[in-house]
Amino acid sequence: MLALTEADLAQAEQKYQVFLAAARLERNETIDASEQSQAEAAADLAEAFDDKAHDHSAKIAVINGIDFGPKDEVGPGAVVKIGNRYLVVGVSTAAFRCQGQDFIGISTASPIYSALEGKIAGDTCTFNGRELVVSEVH
Protein backbone atom coordinates (compact mmCIF):
# COMPACT_ATOMS: atom_id res chain seq x y z
CA MET A 1 0.00 0.00 0.00
CA LEU A 2 2.80 2.38 0.94
CA ALA A 3 4.89 1.45 -2.11
CA LEU A 4 1.90 1.99 -4.41
CA THR A 5 1.19 5.42 -2.94
CA GLU A 6 4.88 6.38 -3.08
CA ALA A 7 4.96 5.38 -6.76
CA ASP A 8 1.83 7.49 -7.39
CA LEU A 9 3.54 10.42 -5.66
CA ALA A 10 6.70 10.02 -7.77
CA GLN A 11 4.65 9.89 -10.96
CA ALA A 12 2.63 12.99 -10.01
CA GLU A 13 5.84 14.88 -9.18
CA GLN A 14 7.40 13.83 -12.49
CA LYS A 15 4.33 14.95 -14.48
CA TYR A 16 4.28 18.20 -12.52
CA GLN A 17 7.87 18.92 -13.54
CA VAL A 18 7.15 18.10 -17.21
CA PHE A 19 4.14 20.43 -17.41
CA LEU A 20 5.86 23.12 -15.35
CA ALA A 21 8.75 23.15 -17.82
CA ALA A 22 6.27 23.39 -20.72
CA ALA A 23 4.60 26.36 -19.03
CA ARG A 24 7.79 28.43 -19.05
CA LEU A 25 8.15 30.86 -21.93
CA GLU A 26 11.31 32.58 -23.08
CA ARG A 27 10.62 36.21 -22.23
CA ASN A 28 13.41 37.47 -24.49
CA GLU A 29 11.64 36.10 -27.59
CA THR A 30 8.42 37.10 -29.27
CA ILE A 31 5.53 35.01 -27.97
CA ASP A 32 2.56 34.41 -30.20
CA ALA A 33 -0.97 33.71 -29.00
CA SER A 34 -0.66 29.96 -29.66
CA GLU A 35 2.48 29.65 -27.54
CA GLN A 36 0.85 31.69 -24.77
CA SER A 37 -2.24 29.47 -24.87
CA GLN A 38 -0.17 26.27 -24.75
CA ALA A 39 1.88 27.61 -21.84
CA GLU A 40 -1.28 28.48 -19.91
CA ALA A 41 -2.71 24.99 -20.52
CA ALA A 42 0.55 23.42 -19.35
CA ALA A 43 0.49 25.60 -16.22
CA ASP A 44 -3.05 24.42 -15.46
CA LEU A 45 -1.97 20.79 -15.86
CA ALA A 46 1.11 21.38 -13.69
CA GLU A 47 -1.15 22.77 -10.97
CA ALA A 48 -3.40 19.70 -11.19
CA PHE A 49 -0.42 17.34 -10.79
CA ASP A 50 0.91 19.48 -7.93
CA ASP A 51 -2.45 18.99 -6.20
CA LYS A 52 -2.19 15.23 -6.85
CA ALA A 53 1.32 15.20 -5.36
CA HIS A 54 0.02 16.88 -2.21
CA ASP A 55 -2.83 14.35 -2.00
CA HIS A 56 -0.38 11.45 -2.27
CA SER A 57 1.91 13.02 0.35
CA ALA A 58 -1.05 13.29 2.71
CA LYS A 59 -1.92 9.62 2.08
CA ILE A 60 1.66 8.59 2.87
CA ALA A 61 1.47 10.48 6.17
CA VAL A 62 -1.78 8.66 7.03
CA ILE A 63 -0.33 5.25 6.10
CA ASN A 64 2.75 5.90 8.23
CA GLY A 65 0.52 6.79 11.19
CA ILE A 66 -1.68 3.68 11.06
CA ASP A 67 -1.12 0.59 13.19
CA PHE A 68 -1.47 -2.33 10.75
CA GLY A 69 -1.15 -4.89 13.54
CA PRO A 70 -3.73 -7.66 14.08
CA LYS A 71 -7.32 -6.50 14.51
CA ASP A 72 -10.51 -8.16 15.76
CA GLU A 73 -12.88 -5.53 14.37
CA VAL A 74 -13.00 -3.27 11.35
CA GLY A 75 -11.13 -0.03 11.96
CA PRO A 76 -8.08 1.83 10.61
CA GLY A 77 -5.33 -0.64 9.73
CA ALA A 78 -7.66 -3.64 9.47
CA VAL A 79 -7.72 -6.02 6.54
CA VAL A 80 -11.28 -7.10 5.84
CA LYS A 81 -12.43 -9.94 3.59
CA ILE A 82 -15.84 -9.56 2.00
CA GLY A 83 -16.71 -12.28 -0.51
CA ASN A 84 -13.46 -12.83 -2.40
CA ARG A 85 -12.19 -9.26 -1.87
CA TYR A 86 -9.70 -7.98 0.65
CA LEU A 87 -10.03 -4.36 1.73
CA VAL A 88 -7.33 -2.51 3.67
CA VAL A 89 -8.70 0.30 5.82
CA GLY A 90 -6.58 3.42 5.73
CA VAL A 91 -6.48 5.34 2.46
CA SER A 92 -8.04 4.75 -0.91
CA THR A 93 -5.74 3.06 -3.41
CA ALA A 94 -5.91 1.21 -6.67
CA ALA A 95 -5.88 -2.57 -6.46
CA PHE A 96 -2.52 -4.05 -5.48
CA ARG A 97 -1.06 -7.48 -4.90
CA CYS A 98 0.67 -8.57 -1.70
CA GLN A 99 1.78 -12.08 -0.73
CA GLY A 100 -0.20 -13.57 -3.60
CA GLN A 101 -3.50 -11.84 -2.70
CA ASP A 102 -5.27 -8.91 -4.33
CA PHE A 103 -6.15 -5.95 -2.09
CA ILE A 104 -7.68 -2.51 -2.45
CA GLY A 105 -7.30 0.35 -0.02
CA ILE A 106 -10.35 2.16 1.34
CA SER A 107 -10.46 5.42 3.22
CA THR A 108 -12.15 5.87 6.57
CA ALA A 109 -14.18 8.57 4.80
CA SER A 110 -15.61 6.10 2.26
CA PRO A 111 -19.25 5.02 2.43
CA ILE A 112 -18.33 1.32 2.58
CA TYR A 113 -16.17 1.97 5.63
CA SER A 114 -19.16 3.54 7.38
CA ALA A 115 -21.07 0.31 6.79
CA LEU A 116 -18.17 -1.87 7.97
CA GLU A 117 -16.83 0.11 10.92
CA GLY A 118 -16.77 -1.92 14.13
CA LYS A 119 -17.87 -5.18 12.49
CA ILE A 120 -16.19 -8.47 13.38
CA ALA A 121 -15.81 -11.69 11.40
CA GLY A 122 -19.22 -13.24 10.81
CA ASP A 123 -21.12 -9.92 10.99
CA THR A 124 -23.21 -8.64 8.10
CA CYS A 125 -23.88 -5.12 6.91
CA THR A 126 -25.84 -3.48 4.14
CA PHE A 127 -24.11 -1.40 1.48
CA ASN A 128 -25.73 -0.08 -1.71
CA GLY A 129 -28.74 -2.28 -1.07
CA ARG A 130 -26.67 -5.47 -0.82
CA GLU A 131 -26.06 -7.51 2.27
CA LEU A 132 -22.36 -8.14 2.78
CA VAL A 133 -20.82 -10.77 5.05
CA VAL A 134 -17.56 -9.92 6.78
CA SER A 135 -15.79 -13.28 6.53
CA GLU A 136 -12.42 -12.22 7.96
CA VAL A 137 -10.87 -9.33 9.89
CA HIS A 138 -7.11 -9.18 10.33
pLDDT, tens only, 60-90: 999 999 999 999 999 999 999 999 999 999 9
Total-model pTM: 0.74
CB burial string 11-48: b at 16+ within 10 A, e below:
ebbebbeebbeebeeeeeeeeeeeeeeeeeebeebbee
- In this prediction, residue 18 carries a pLDDT of 84
Task: Report the pLDDT value the prediction gives residue 26, as an integer from 0 to 100.
Answer: 67
Residues in the chain predicted with pLDDT less than 70, given as ranges, are 26-32
pLDDT of res. 16 = 83
